[in-house]
A and B are shown apart, each in its own frame.
Chain A
Amino acid sequence: MYVELQMKNVGRWEGRLLNLEIKNMGDTLMVKITGDFDLELADHCRREIDRNYEKEAVKNILFDLTGIDFIDSSGLGVILGRYRKVKENEGRVVIASGDSRIIKLLNLSGITRLIPVYPNTAQALKHLSGKVM
């Protein structure tokens, strides 16, 4: 259930359309990133996610990567960095992605050893609520 809803940062930044949506879903921050998750988006995402994670006092983060076209080590670094913060706060991180190109990079980076990946947000949320392990 959506306890509180907020949409953020769907706008233009340094000349490029940015697609970052952050929603507070109670104890989980739902972070939807679309487009190319590279250096340009990484700094902005890191800042906004951290700001919202603290402000909303949530525990978990769900990264919705189902709308991503591209990811490289800059984007992967943002995910790994958030994982470390969330873990310190005793929360959990989960990823939604069904794209084999993206999953291959998540695998190569070692992220899949730390963070469970589900093909969609519904299953990822179920994981967080403890229904799927």
Chain B
Amino acid sequence: MKAINHIKLEFPSIPANVRLARVTVAAFASELDYDVSVLEEIKVAVSEAVTNAIVHGYQKDPKGLVTLTASLYDSSLEIVVEDRGRGINNLERALEPGEGTEPERMGLGFVFMRTFMDELEVNSEPGQGTTVIMRKKLPGEVKAMWFNEN
């Protein structure tokens, strides 16, 4: 399916870019008439995915590159966060709550992504990298609006 609109962003794996990523997606999504509280939740989900790419994927090595795309489809917003870092060995376990690797990372990232988005898909290959795909249904009215205009 062809996206109605999309953005693509590539940035080095540095902590300051977590904010850049979520603010960019929020700006893209703010065109879509989501409730403010939903936009806030989307921001948390993006923050978690990008934080994981930086902290786990690249272990904060700023040479790593993270790509983020946000695409508008006829009934959903799709956000993809991709790194070419170390990948996830045991994906099933990683997706469980409380499966953080460091003492102060709480294993809440995937929980938040799943809670705040309608769909979460994670593809990962050890040594190759990780792709996180998240989808959020559009508010109904917006769907009609885009299709009247296009």
Contacts and interface: CB of A to CB of B under 8 A. Distances in A.
Contacts of A101: 37, 40
Interface size class of B (residues with CB under 8 A): 20 to 34
Contacts of A16: 16, 19
Given A72-B51, A101-B40, A81 B104 contact: yes
Q: Which of B15, B40, B54, B112: most chain A CB closer than 10 A?
A: B15
A73 B37 contact: no
A74 B111 CA distance: 13
A102 to B, nearest CB: 10
B106 A73 contact: yes
A80 B15 contact: no
B19 A76 contact: no
Contacts of B16: 14-16, 40
Q: Which of A40, A73, A80, A101: most chain B CB closer than 10 A?
A: A73
Given A39-B55, A101-B37, A105-B44, A77 B106 contact: yes
A48 interface: no
B130 interface: no
B106 A72 contact: no
Contacts of A127: none
B43 interface: yes
B83 interface: no
A78 interface: yes
Interface string B82-121: 0000000000000000000001111011011001000000
A73 B19 contact: no
A14 B15 contact: yes
A133 B94 CA distance: 38
A89 B43 CA distance: 35
Q: Which of A39, A74, A77, A80: most chain B CB closer than 10 A?
A: A39
Given A40-B19, A108-B111, 5 more contacts: A14-B16, A38-B47, A73-B108, A81-B104, A101-B40
30 contacts: A14-B14, A14-B15, A15-B16, A16-B19, A36-B19, A38-B15, A38-B18, A38-B47, A38-B51, A39-B15, A39-B18, A39-B47, A39-B54, A40-B16, A40-B18, A70-B40, A70-B43, A72-B47, A72-B48, A72-B51, A72-B112, A73-B106, A74-B51, A76-B106, A76-B108, A77-B105, A80-B106, A81-B104, A101-B37, A108-B115
The 6 A-B pairs of least Cβ separation, nearest first, read A40-B15, A81-B104, A73-B108, A72-B47, A77-B104, A39-B15
Interface of A: 14-16, 36, 38-40, 43, 46, 70, 72-74, 76-78, 80-81, 101, 105, 108-109
